[in-house]
Amino acid sequence: MMSLVILARGHSWLVVDKPAGMSVHNDPQDVCRILGRQLEPGTFDDVHPVHRLDKETSGLLLVALDSGTARDLSGKLQERSCEKVYLAIVRGALPVSETWQTWSQSLSDKAEGRRNPRGQSTDRVEARTDYRVSRSSRYLSLMEVRLLTGRQHQIRKHSAIAGHAIVGDRRYGDPGYNSRMAGIYGTDRMFLHAVRLKMSIDGKERSFEAPVPDDFDRLIERV
């Protein structure tokens, strides 16, 4: 039976390491269904993902085990003290810097496509993404990304608008490029990973970290 790695657990919540290619919900083998079978019967009311993580994205996912905890943690995620950090490998060379830069183009809070990642102008709302580049080569850049707002596909859209789409992003990246990269590196995953989460839970400041997947790590070595 398929199971998920549980990185941390409290009385009414847990943090799991979601693999790339697995939906959070609405699939026969999604996070909610797998956890429902994996956890001890009678120890929780239901599985409630507290935030969104795209099917193509791997890494940290916070899950509540009852609706009250889900509402409380969802509110905590909106606090300024909360920090969600991702790793992304993007197409092209960006200057390495220890200083955080910001993408601030307004975005539609709907799934869009490669031709117009910002969406219709009438649907656009504030969107802010911090990033800093830790490694760069002629062809690829590795960056840390920090979300300041929570728009749908925000990191994917902002990086594509900047001309540096995430490697393997089928919605916002170039299909031919992604196909070539998959042939070279033997994986067609999207290289976006939720690596770190810092927030207050149960009155205590907590920090969680998800290990970098092997296929992700192999491409980092090429940057």
Q: Which residues are catalytic?
A: 54
| Assigned token pair, 132 | 């800093």
| Assigned token pair, 166 | 């995430």
| Assigned token pair, 207 | 């920090």
How far, in Å, CA of 39 to CA of 193, rounded? 25
Q: Any residues with CB less than 8 A from the CB of 172 and at least 6 apart, and which?
A: 113, 114, 117, 153, 156, 157, 159, 160, 165, 166
Secondary structure (3-state) at 31: helix
| Assigned token pair, 160 | 């594509």
Please, are residues 92 and 221 in contact by the beta-carbon 8 Å criterion?
Answer: no
Alpha helices in the chain (DSSP H): 31-38, 67-77, 154-161, 175-185, 214-220
How far, in Å, CA of 131 to CA of 23, rounded? 26
* Cα separation values, 16 from 1, 111, 145, Å: 17, 25, 20
Secondary structure (3-state) at 108: strand
